[in-house]
Structure 1
Amino acid sequence: MPLARADFHLQNLASAQAEAQRLFDQKAILQGGWLTWVASQIYTLRPAEYASMVRRELVRLQEPSEK
C-alpha cells in the first residue's frame, strides 16, 4: 500500500529541504544559467511528488531574496 500523502510529506520533508538548499546554493555561482540548470535537476527527481516538494521549498527559499 502506498504511503498516504501526509506520511510521504513527513518522511521526505527534511530531504526535500536539504535538496532545495543545495540547489539554491548554486544560484550565486551559476547566476544567469541557474534557472535552466535547476529546472533540469528538478526534472530528474522521482517520484513527482518529491520533485514538487523540492520545487515548493525552492520557492520558499527565494521569497526573501526577491523582495
Structure 2
Amino acid sequence: MTTAPPPISEPDPSALVCPGDRVGLCASCQRKTHKYGSGGCPLCQWCMAPVMERWGPGVRYVSTRV
C-alpha cells in the first residue's frame, strides 16, 4: 500500500538534510528537493517513484552540466 504524498508546500525529506544552496524545485511538481550537487535528483521522491516502477532501479538522467 502506498501513502499519498504530503501537500506541495511540504519539502521533500532530502531538502531538509542537504545544504540550502543545493535545494531546488522538483522538475515535475515544483516541491523543494535536493536537486543540485552530489546526490541531487531533478525529481522529488514522490515523482521519482512511478518513474522507477516503470523503468526499474537503474533509471538515470543525463546531466547537462560539465
Normalising by structure 2, we get a TM-score of 0.27
Of Structure 1 and Structure 2, which has the larger fraction of its residues in helix? Answer: 1
Q: Which has the higher contact order (CA 8 A, sep 6+)?
A: 1
Of Structure 1 and Structure 2, which has the larger fraction of its residues in strand? Answer: 2
Please identify the structure whose Cα radius of gyration is greater.
1
Normalising by structure 1, we get a TM-score of 0.26
